[in-house]
Structure 1
Amino acid sequence: MTDAARRALVVGASRNLGLGLARELLTRGWDVVGTVRGGRRTGLHELADAHPARVRIERLDTTVPAEIDRLRDRLDPASLDLLFVNAGITDADVPAAEVGDDVFTRVMLTNALAPVRVVERLADRVTPQGTVAVMSSRQGSISLNERGGHEVYRASKSALNQLVRSYDARRTDRRTLLLVHPGWVQTELGGDGAPLTVEQSAPGILDMIGKHTGDGGLQFRNHLGEVVPW
């Protein structure tokens, strides 16, 4: 199947990797619905100005369940070929015991619980043959954690992976479900020293998604298509 006339919802598309994915999808012939959190103008708005017939902007704060429900109501069932949930924040790189309760709660809510809520509420807006992808991280891999650092961020991505795996274990549909490690990318999270740009990571992510469309089940893979150990 070609990418022509396919439709994706990118949650968290205002900047960085989310915006990069929206741009790359457009170059591949997809129509894009992208979400932003606030009312300010973003790169996604510029993209919509350039492609008014192919880019639709929706407002969504993933940490507010009522906003997820309102977005659900604005989407027709089985109207998407891809749902990509891209959400993530970090905290200071300090031991977990030094992190305040408010910071811990905010990181866990944003990185783990909120994305799963989005998947739970919006998965049926994806066609039965479509794909649900969630932005995870190699840092969420327990077996690969040999150096420590960014402890709460790591824990939030591990929690995300576990919650998505639990969701997969009890769901009855067979849509393809992907946890995605984008590589170490030059964003606010990755820092300027990261080896990959958004423009390098986004095409790899979409190539990987394309190769596994229709697989069914859950996989944890990186932007090169390699399996990431749990």
Structure 2
Amino acid sequence: MTDTRKTALVIGASRTLGLGLAAEYLRRGWDVVGTVRGVRRTGLHDLADASEGRLTIESLEMTDPEQIAALRDRLARRTLDLLFVNAAIARGDHPIGEVPTDTFTEVLVTNALSPMRVVEVLGPLVAPTGTIGVMSSDQGSITLNTDGGQDLYRASKSALNQLMRCYAARHITGTRTLLLMDPGWVRTELGGLEADLSVEESVPGVAETIERHRGRPGLHFVDHQGQVVPW
């Protein structure tokens, strides 16, 4: 009998939203490949132990281009139905003029450049009718920025959105669905304890929104409720 299970690759799946997304796709009957940094045991390892072989773990430092290429080589025989990149850092809430150059570089490399390197290198592994998604934020929306604050984080997500737009323009005739996903304000290390949503409340909506956009080529900037986020 032919195995018809779909396969998702979740980049940055060791905790919070990435871990929740890996668990959600397992619940939906998918096979999942999740990446972690380094060799330390994480919640993803516990999830893998209970997955009956449906979850495999790969090591990836996303800011290292050689590691991205090596992961592509290791997965070369697999066809992905979903590639989802979940990774971001924040380094405090300071006016941009007070941000050290090395901190600016670190955040932009982690939040914008590295996810797009993953998309460029691993995107060809995604089936022609599959989906490539990256975790964005409504804080990357220029239109919605009426209060300011979080200058560096906002700039990094806006840069990610623009670079994903460039990618979409270069693949304008492609048949894959491309998503910029806003998960909502979630209680994570980045979101803080006062955020509106738990991971368990956000993730099912993220997965459902991804599913609803399957088969709709082109780039979509949407939130966990399926609503369009303004650029």
**Length-normalised TM-score, structure 1:** 0.97
Shift of 1:174: 2.0
**Which position in structure 1 is the counterpart of 2:109?**
109
Letter matched to residue 105 of structure 2 = T
* C-alpha distance 42-102 of structure 1, shift in aligned 2 (>3 A): same
> Contact 2:174/2:218 (CA < 8 Å) preserved in 1?
no
Paired residue secondary structure (2:84): strand
Moved more, 76-85 or 218-227: 76-85
**Which position in structure 2 is the counterpart of 1:211?**
212
1:18-167 mapped onto 2 (5 Å cutoff)? 18-76=18-76, 79-167=79-167
Structure 1 runs, 4 residues or longer, greater than 4 Å off: none
Shift of 1:173: 2.3
CA deviation vs aligned residue, 1:195-226 (integer Å, no higher than 9, x gap) = 10000101000100100101000000000000
Letter matched to residue 225 of structure 1 = G
Q: Distance in 2 between matches of 1:229 and 1:78?
A: 35
Letter matched to residue 121 of structure 1 = V
CA deviation vs aligned residue, 1:91-120 (integer Å, no higher than 9, x gap) = 110101101111100000000000000000
Letter matched to residue 209 of structure 1 = I
CA deviation vs aligned residue, 1:122-172 (integer Å, no higher than 9, x gap) = 111110010000000000000100000110000000000000000110125
**Which position in structure 2 is the counterpart of 1:201?**
202
Shift of 1:78: 6.2
Unpaired runs of at least 5, structure 2: none
Unpaired runs of at least 5, structure 1: none
Q: Distance in 1 between matches of 2:220 and 2:5?
A: 26
Shift of 1:76: 2.7
| Count of matched residue positions in the alignment of Structure 1 and Structure 2 | 227
Shift of 1:77: 5.6
2:13 is the alignment partner of 1:16:
no
Letter matched to residue 142 of structure 1 = I
Q: Distance in 1 between matches of 2:35 and 2:165?
A: 25
